[in-house]
């Protein structure tokens, strides 16, 4: 398995560098400069780039990186991606530094959004966040609910490498949805300690997301009750998700 390094970028983005020996891949390089710095400091040669979706803060550095290294660019086939050489739609298995990587279609945030899974590591872009999920800029509630359900079906020990540091920001909403959930209270304390020490909350543990993230808990009675008060149709997980996402948008 490759090693995984986090590079902070912009206000709250993470770029991920996957390395084995001197070879490296990079995931969602919205900015080329910190990637070049990391590659130079670690004496790494860039072999490939993985893109989850088309937003500029995820692909803005591709052109410069590809021009300098000739790296192959794996990216959604149905989105506008600079320099894409390997179009993907989900369902493929690719090799990253000799490791098999499952490509998963997870539409919702954008229509062509992909996630990449290698062993117990999941690179999910802006689909799933700590205690939250991405906004629906292009997809439907049904698409996002299905994408999140697919991620929730992965093993509990899955380590989730999401692309933004949003956990502390999302936890107050999770607590508003489930004020009597002790796992959320405990997580808030741990996250506050990490952030005050300048440490990331990423990677996330999927088991903890299932215990504290309202968008992965749409069948839990307490969450269902809240969603029903918001106008969700009883027993309809898409309606429950949509009600929660609308509330979160205005929280």
pLDDT the model gives residue 234: 77
Q: Which member of 126, 153, 156, 236 is catalytic? A: 126
Q: Determine the Cα–Cα distance for residues 57 and 185; give it in Å rounded to an integer.
A: 31
Annotation marks residue 109 as catalytic: yes
Q: Which member of 38, 54, 113, 164 is catalytic? A: 164
pLDDT the model gives residue 137: 97
Annotation marks residue 157 as catalytic: no
- H runs (alpha helix) in the chain: 32-42, 56-59, 62-69, 141-152, 167-177, 182-196, 206-212, 221-229, 237-249
pLDDT the model gives residue 235: 76
pLDDT the model gives residue 140: 97
- Residue by residue, what is the 3-state secondary structure of 138-205? CCCHHHHHHHHHHHHCCCCCCEEEECECCHHHHHHHHHHHCCCCHHHHHHHHHHHHHHHCCCCCCCEE
Q: Which member of 38, 54, 55, 113 is catalytic? A: 55
Domain chopping of the chain, boundaries: 3-170+200-209
pLDDT the model gives residue 146: 98
Annotation marks residue 78 as catalytic: no
Q: What is the DSSP letter of 233?
A: P
Annotation marks residue 38 as catalytic: no
Give the three-class secondary structure for 209.
helix
Annotation marks residue 54 as catalytic: no
Q: Are 185 and 144 in contact (CB under 8 A)?
A: no
Written as tens digits, the pLDDT of the chain (251 aa) is 999 999 999 999 999 999 999 999 999 999 999 999 999 999 999 999 999 999 999 999 999 999 999 999 999 999 999 999 999 999 999 999 999 999 999 999 999 999 999 999 999 999 999 999 999 999 999 999 999 999 999 999 999 999 999 999 999 999 999 999 999 999 999 999 999 999 999 999 999 999 999 999 999 999 999 999 998 887 789 999 999 999 999 99
pTM score above 0.85: yes
Class of domain 3-170+200-209 (CATH, top level): alpha beta
pLDDT the model gives residue 244: 97
Looking from the CA of 50 toward its CB, the CA atoms found within 13 Å total: 31
Q: Determine the Cα–Cα distance for residues 20 and 17; give it in Å rounded to an integer.
A: 10
């Amino acid at each position: 398995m490759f090693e995984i390094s986090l590079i902070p970028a912009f206000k709250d983005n993470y770029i991920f560098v996957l390395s084995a020996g001197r070879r490296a891949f990079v995931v969602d390089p919205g900015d080329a400069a910190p990637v070049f710095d990391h590659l130079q400091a670690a004496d790494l040669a860039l072999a490939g780039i993985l893109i989850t979706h088309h937003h500029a803060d995820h692909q803005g550095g591709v052109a410069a990186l590809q021009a300098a290294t000739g790296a192959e660019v794996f990216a959604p086939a149905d989105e506008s991606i600079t320099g894409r050489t390997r179009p993907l739609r989900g369902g493929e298995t690719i090799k990253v530094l000799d490791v098999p990587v499952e490509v998963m279609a997870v539409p919702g945030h954008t229509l062509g959004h992909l996630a990449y899974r290698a062993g117990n590591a999941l690179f999910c872009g802006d689909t799933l966040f700590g205690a939250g999920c991405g906004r629906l800029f292009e997809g439907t509630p049904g698409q996002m609910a299905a994408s999140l359900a697919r991620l929730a079906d992965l093993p509990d020990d899955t380590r989730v490498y999401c692309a933004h540091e949003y956990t502390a920001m999302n936890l107050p909403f999770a607590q508003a949805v489930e004020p009597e959930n002790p796992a959320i209270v405990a997580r808030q304390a741990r996250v506050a300690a990490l952030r005050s020490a300048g440490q990331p909350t990423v990677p996330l543990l999927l088991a903890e997301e299932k215990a504290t993230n309202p968008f992965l808990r749409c069948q839990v009675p307490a969450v269902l009750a809240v969603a029903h008060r918001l106008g969700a149709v009883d027993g309809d997980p898409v309606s429950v998700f949509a009600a929660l996402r609308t509330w979160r948008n205005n929280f």
